[in-house]
């Protein structure tokens, strides 16, 4: 591998940017492809599929074979609210390969005793997310039912490239949330990114069932190929 390619891969890893090293098997020629510049590559469709799957492998195009070495950042799950749903969702997320963290300024809830296997930050979301910026490989769930807490995280999420934004609450609650975000200057396209009510519609009732529905929706958002209407 050329030194310049190695530098590009290392830089992408440090900056949490997804990329692929394309190796032509016939002659060993290699090139670096960043996810952000994918559209102009002749293997754009194959690379896009590999990035969504997060797996390296061999592909063919026009009689030539290529090996795609996929490098994607660890997927993070930010849970706003040290609540019962978070207690169930943290372990599920870790089993699914996500890197979970709970953020809640209420110290009575945000304690290591309640979350023995999940990091907990007893901070306001805007403070905590300043040190852990949101990016396109981050999913965020707003779970407190308290706009004073949730909205601080939501404004940051809408300004970032999070692949998933989910918010707990009824449709009536969400309508009020939308009004507040419009007052903050967000348009309909940005607000359409919010999954609310949060989670897949599987009839979940208990915190554990709701956590399962949220985890399923996150995986769906991460791996599913966008439909034609979504791309449009």
DSSP tag of 156: H
Classify residue 140 as left (phi > 0), alpha (psi -120 to 50) or beta: beta
Lowest mean pLDDT: which of 16-25, 33-42, 63-72, 184-193? 33-42
- Cα R_g (the chain), whole angstroms: 20
Residue with tokens 């903050």: 184
Q: 231 pLDDT exceeds 50?
A: no
pLDDT (average), residues 34-47: 89
Q: Which two tokens stand for residue 101?
A: 């963290």
Domain spans of the chain, in order of start: 3-71, 76-223
pTM higher than the cut 0.85: no
Q: Report the CATH superfamily, name and number, of domain 76-223.
A: NAD(P)-binding Rossmann-like Domain (3.40.50.720)
pLDDT band at 181 (very low <50, low <70, confident <90, very high): very high
Q: Which two tokens stand for residue 9?
A: 């891969």
Q: 229 pLDDT exceeds 50?
A: no
DSSP tag of 225: P
Q: How far apart are CA 104 and CA 145, in angstroms?
A: 12
Q: Which two tokens stand for residue 42?
A: 């002749």
Cβ atoms of residues 46 and 56 within 8 Å: no
Average pLDDT, the chain: 93
Phi and psi at 147, nearest 5°, equal -60, -30
């Amino acid at each position: 591998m050329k030194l310049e390619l190695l530098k590009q891969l290392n830089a992408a890893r440090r900056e949490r940017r997804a990329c692929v090293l394309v190796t032509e098997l016939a002659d060993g020629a290699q090139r670096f492809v960043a996810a952000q510049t994918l559209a102009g590559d002749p293997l754009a469709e194959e690379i896009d599929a590999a990035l969504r799957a997060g797996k390296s492998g061999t592909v063919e195009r026009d009689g030539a074979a290529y090996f795609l070495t996929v490098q994607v950042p660890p997927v993070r799950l930010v849970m706003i609210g040290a609540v019962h749903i978070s207690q169930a969702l943290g372990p599920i997320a870790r089993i699914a390969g996500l890197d979970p963290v709970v953020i809640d300024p209420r110290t009575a809830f945000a304690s290591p005793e309640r979350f023995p296997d999940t990091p907990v930050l007893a901070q306001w979301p805007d403070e905590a997310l300043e040190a852990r910026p949101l990016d396109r490989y981050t999913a965020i769930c707003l779970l407190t039912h308290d706009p004073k807490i949730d909205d601080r995280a939501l404004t940051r999420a809408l300004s970032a490239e999070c692949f998933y934004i989910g918010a707990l609450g009824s449709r009536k609650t969400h309508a009020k949330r939308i009004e507040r975000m419009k007052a903050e200057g967000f348009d309909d396209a940005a607000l359409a990114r919010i999954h609310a009510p949060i989670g897949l519609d599987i009839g979940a009732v208990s915190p554990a069932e709701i956590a399962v529905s949220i985890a399923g929706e996150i995986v769906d958002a991460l791996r599913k190929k966008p439909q034609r209407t979504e791309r449009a």
